[in-house]
Structure 1
Amino acid sequence: MDLRLSGQVAVVTGASRGIGLAIVSTLLAEGARVVAASRRRSPELEALAGPGLVHVATDLMEPSAPGLVIARAAEEFGGLDILVNNAGGPPPGVTLPRSSFFEAGDDDWRAVFEFNLFSVVRAVRAAIPLMLRRGGGAIVNVSSANGRQPAPMNVDYSAAKAGMNNLTKALSEEFGPQGIRVNTVSPGPVRTPWWTDQGGAADIIAAMAGSDRDSVLDRLAPEMMRLSTGRLVDPQEVADAVVLLASPRSASTTGADFVVDGGLLKTV
């Protein structure tokens, strides 16, 4: 199916690995031109190099950074059609998962909200005027199933994602009549470096459970979270949902939340 993205200009944050890398790759395959923002390049992102891809090395914790990334899209490609706010998770200096509310102090909360919510606010603030000049656009915010399912684990992160969900709904109401669609995709546990890196979530949970990282990734984590599929989500599965929402094929979808969670959420 042609997603009608050829020639469109997209910004993707958190683009060097995991879900973000899969989103960039998929957008390029559909003919879009992409500004990929991340703290550093990765070999996998380098392998996608070409005239339709520009990398911006940036720290989205800096208040000016999201706006500068958006401005780069206008400089390189003349405007902006798609914004994917994918960057999220633990900011530098913060370790997740946490198992209790009392494990996070004020500085931890501020850092998690700065990275997972305020950077999104700033990116959207910069993107909407560019989209309005082109008659509309699509914003996809990568949230989390945790934003819909409160739990003692990672409460600060979950609260930030719940805020993102609320923000998305509000933006869809205000700017839908002006041609800008705003949606969320809420992944469950995705097999990304956040899980698989040395010292990442798999190692932390293995230490808590007296197990090993491979057992956590392949069996224990899916069992603990009661995933209906019995496995962690693949990054490409999330990217496919994101790119579909970014596409004009989803022209009547706005203010929606697409859940890609392996059956984590059990509520109606």
Structure 2
Amino acid sequence: MDLHLSGRSALVTGASKGIGLAVVRTLLDEGARVVAVSRRTSPELEKLARPELVHVAADLMDPEAPARVVARAVEEFGGLDILVNNAGGPPPGVSLPRTSFLDASDADWPAMFEFNLFSAVRAVRAALPHLLADGGGAVVSVSTGLARQPAVGNAEYGAAKAALTNLTKVLSEEYAPQGVRFNTVSPGAVRTAWWTEEGGAADIIAAMAGSDRDTVMDTLAPQMMNVSTGRLVTPEEIADAVALLVSPRSGSTTGADFVVDGGYLKAV
């Protein structure tokens, strides 16, 4: 299916690995031009090098960074059609899951909101004038199933993402008449660095359960989360949903939350 993305310009945050990297790769394969934003590049991102891809190093915990990267995207490609707010998860130096609500300090809460909510707020604020000037466009923000099905141990993360999901609904109401669509994609547990890196979620759960990291990712985590498919989601599965939502072929889809979680979310 042709998604009609050829020649469109996109900005993707958190683009050096995991879901963001998969989104960059998918959009490039569909013919889009992409500004990929991350603190630093990665060997995997560098393998995608081509004229249609520009990497911009930025730390989105810096309040000035979103406006700078949007300006760079417009400078590179002459406009902006697509914004993918993917950067999120544990802020630098933080590991999840926690064992209790009480484990998060006063400093942990604003840091989590800064990374998962306010960076997206600032990116949208910077991108909107360009999206409107070009006659419309699409914004997809990566939320989480935890925004709708809370889980013990990730209180501040789930709260920040719930706010992002709510914000997306609000923005969809205001800007749909002007041609800008806003949607979220809510993954479940995705096999990304959050799980796979040393000291990540798989290691934390393995230590608590007396298991090992591979068993956690292959068996224990899907069982603990009651995932219907019995496995973690792949980044490519999230990227496919993002690509469809930013496509003109989803022109009547706005204010939606696309759940890609292997059956984690059970609510009707």
Instruction: State if a TM-score over 0.5 links the two structures.
Output: yes
Instruction: State TM-score, norm by structure 1.
Output: 0.99
Shift of 1:93: 1.9
- In structure 2, C-alpha distance between the alignment counterparts of 1:72 and 1:28, rounded to whole Å: 18
- In structure 2, C-alpha distance between the alignment counterparts of 1:231 and 1:243, rounded to whole Å: 23
1:152 aligns with 2:152: yes
Partner of 1:14: 14
Partner of 2:112: 112
Partner of 2:243: 243
Partner of 2:136: 136
- In structure 2, C-alpha distance between the alignment counterparts of 1:151 and 1:230, rounded to whole Å: 18
- In structure 2, C-alpha distance between the alignment counterparts of 1:30 and 1:225, rounded to whole Å: 33
Task: Specify the code of the residue in structure 1 equivalent to 2:102.
Answer: F
SS in 2 for 1:215: helix
Answer whether contact 2:95 2:199 (CA < 8 A) is retained: no
Shift of 1:259: 0.1
Aligned residues: 268
Task: Specify the code of the residue in structure 1 equivalent to 2:54.
Answer: V
Task: Specify the code of the residue in structure 1 equivalent to 2:58.
Answer: T
Partner of 2:185: 185
How large is the Cα RMSD of the aligned pairs? Answer: 0.5
Instruction: List gaps (5 residues or longer) in structure 1.
Output: none
Task: Specify the code of the residue in structure 2 equivalent to 1:242.
Answer: V
Deviations 1:154-207 (A, max 9, x none): 100000000001100000000000000000000000001110011111000000
- In structure 1, C-alpha distance between the alignment counterparts of 2:7 and 2:219, rounded to whole Å: 42
Answer whether contact 2:117 2:160 (CA < 8 A) is retained: yes
Instruction: State TM-score, norm by structure 2.
Output: 0.99
Partner of 1:100: 100
- In structure 1, C-alpha distance between the alignment counterparts of 2:189 and 2:153, rounded to whole Å: 13
Deviations 1:200-228 (A, max 9, x none): 11000000111000110100000000100
- In structure 2, C-alpha distance between the alignment counterparts of 1:176 and 1:134, rounded to whole Å: 14
Partner of 2:229: 229
Q: What pairs with 1:177-216 in structure 2 (closer than 5 Å)?
A: 177-216=177-216
SS in 2 for 1:106: coil
SS in 2 for 1:138: strand
Partner of 1:255: 255
SS in 2 for 1:245: helix
- In structure 2, C-alpha distance between the alignment counterparts of 1:151 and 1:95, rounded to whole Å: 16
Moved over 3 A (4+): none
Task: Specify the code of the residue in structure 2 equivalent to 1:259.
Answer: V
Partner of 2:80: 80
